[in-house]
Amino acid sequence: MTTMTETARFREFKMPDVGEGLTEAEILKWYVQPGDTVTDGQVVCEVETAKAAVELPIPFDGVVHELRFPEGTTVDVGQVIIAVDVVPGGGEAAAEPVVPAAAEPEPAAEPEAPKGRQPVLVGYGVAESSTKRRARKGTEPPAAAAAAIQGELNGHTTVAADVPAPATTVVPESHPLAKPPVRKLAKDLGIDLATVTPTGPGGIITREDVHAAAAPVPAPASAPTAPAAVAEAVAVPVAAAPVPGARETRIPVKGVRKAIAQAMVGSAFTAPHVTEFVTVDVTRMMKLVAELKEDKDMAGVRVNPLLIIAKALLVAIRRNPEVNAAWDEANQEIVQKHYVNLGIAAATPRGLIVPNIKDAHDKTLPQLAAALGELVTTAREGKTSPAAMAGGTVTITNVGVFGVDTGTPILNPGESAILAVGAIKLQPWVHKGKVKPRQVTTLALSFDHRLVDGELGSRVLADVAAILEQPKRLITWA
């Protein structure tokens, strides 16, 4: 009979890269404490990255031994954040569980990592044994599977895995390697990662691999995983309660606010912005919205002016596809997108984010309405995942909800156009030769003048306005 050494009893879970390229994340909340029992796939903490707040599940069973960082700490990707006793009660008594604190007089000694322990996508792989043992007859010893990290809408995938038996050394078996957003995408599409052929470096499964496994015919190329698109900085992060008598309050720049600042500075000083405006009578559009709310085919989905505006922009892009493109500075190329991932700017407690509706150009009006409703609800609840904010091609920002007439929106990095929609107000308007009260709004289209000429930008904006003024063009122009 064999027993694990004290160091082999503990497994460490590192801060993963939950956003594909992020370097750090802030621990917002711990859901477990030292001494708590955890199971494979159980969420142990919530972290905020530069893109979103996500929950992290632990990839193995055991008892929490130590939390390495307290809440509110910004941790680099790759740093150990929690240690778990995977063989509780085995061997000699373990050191007392340690709770992270600002100043500990006698912090518990951290277990030394055994030789041959190699890092994987999340945490560490299984420790190698220092002695050779004959395999037991019968069933092969199970291997711990890689973690399935939180993804779309703050759900998380759990991959079936057995815990290493305490009396034997575990021999690692092959398991699919994929980053957290890719794992969640596979879950949403009902794809078993074990059946996917990886094409990424080191045998890592990519987003494209999952899409290829989900469809018999390869789907249109996914947008490159660029930094999450963010719109102009409108929302302000909640500040800490001011000290009585203090004349100033300093707020650390991190998380979503830091990402917004970097993206906006990069966009404003890289892409030459041009903004055009048009004021349009949307009375007929508002009547259509009222009629659609009573339509049985739209039952169960939210119908509002934003839905018709989004559809109008998609039609305008179909008529002027050159606007749906991106500038590739490194290769000196203009990348034409043959799909539309429609971004919708949403104000959240953590700042302004822009999740996007994937392949919005292929959706019917009821499907688009359902996608808009889910997108906005998820964003307001603070559950938007990094994957939902990646790959946008064009954006709508509805500043009208704040009573603002219009604005000059800043482009999201990697996109060439953004449409701002102002407040819809009852105003005097010349209609059929007479001044009448009509529903009027102002639209503003900002575009990247490197690849969108004034003529093209004007045609797109004019088409959107024409559709909102005469919604029947949604049919005649479709």
pLDDT digits (tens, 9 = 90+) for 81-125: 999 998 887 654 444 555 554 444 444 444 444 444 444 333 333
pLDDT attached to residue 197? 84
Which one of 65, 338, 361, 449 is the catalytic residue? 449
pLDDT attached to residue 32? 93
Q: What is the DSSP string of 406-438?
A: ---PPPPTT-SEEEEE---EEEEEEETTEEEEE
CA-to-CA separations, 467 to 104, 186, 312, 317, 457, in angstroms, rounded:
65, 38, 6, 12, 16
What CA–CA distance (Å, rounded) separates 49 from 51?
Answer: 5
**Is residue 188 scored above 60 in pLDDT?**
yes
Confidence tier at 398 by pLDDT (50, 70, 90): very high
Element (H, E) at 125: none
Mean pLDDT of 447-466: 96
pTM beyond 0.85, yes or no: no
Q: Tell me whether residue 338 is one of the annotated catalytic residues.
A: no
By the 8 A CB rule, do 288 and 304 touch? Answer: no
pLDDT attached to residue 215? 64
What CA–CA distance (Å, rounded) separates 229 from 354?
Answer: 6
Region of poorest pLDDT, from 42-51, 207-216, 300-309, 317-326: 207-216
pLDDT digits (tens, 9 = 90+) for 208-267: 787 777 765 433 443 333 333 333 333 334 445 667 888 888 888 877 677 777 777 877
Beta strands 346-348 and 273-281 are unpaired
Percentage above 90 pLDDT, the chain = 42
**Is residue 399 scored above 50 in pLDDT?**
yes
Structure tokens at 48: 């905020």
Q: Between 342 and 229, whose confidence is greater?
A: 342
- Beta pairing partners, 389: none
Distance of CA 392 to the CA centre of its chain: 11
Structure tokens at 359: 């392949």
Nearest alpha-carbon partner for 148 in 230, 282, 284, 42: 42
Mean pLDDT of 138-147: 39
**Is residue 144 scored above 90 in pLDDT?**
no
Structure tokens at 311: 């559809």
Q: Please name the residues in contact with 33: beta carbons below 8 A apart, sequence gap of 6 or more.
A: 64, 67, 97, 99
Nearest alpha-carbon partner for 313 in 344, 352, 347, 348: 344
Element (H, E) at 204: strand 204-205
CA atoms in the 13 A half-sphere facing the CB of 254? 19
**Is residue 416 scored above 90 in pLDDT?**
yes
pLDDT attached to residue 252? 83
Region of poorest pLDDT, from 32-41, 128-137, 254-263, 323-332: 128-137
**Phi and psi for 168 in degrees, rounded to 5?**
-135, 160
Distance of CA 400 to the CA centre of its chain: 25
Q: Between 22 and 206, whose confidence is greater?
A: 206
What CA–CA distance (Å, rounded) separates 230 from 228?
Answer: 6
* Residue that is written with structure tokens 């939950």 in the block: 18
| Dihedral sign computed on CA atoms, order 159, 30, 261, 311 | positive
Amino acid at 373: G
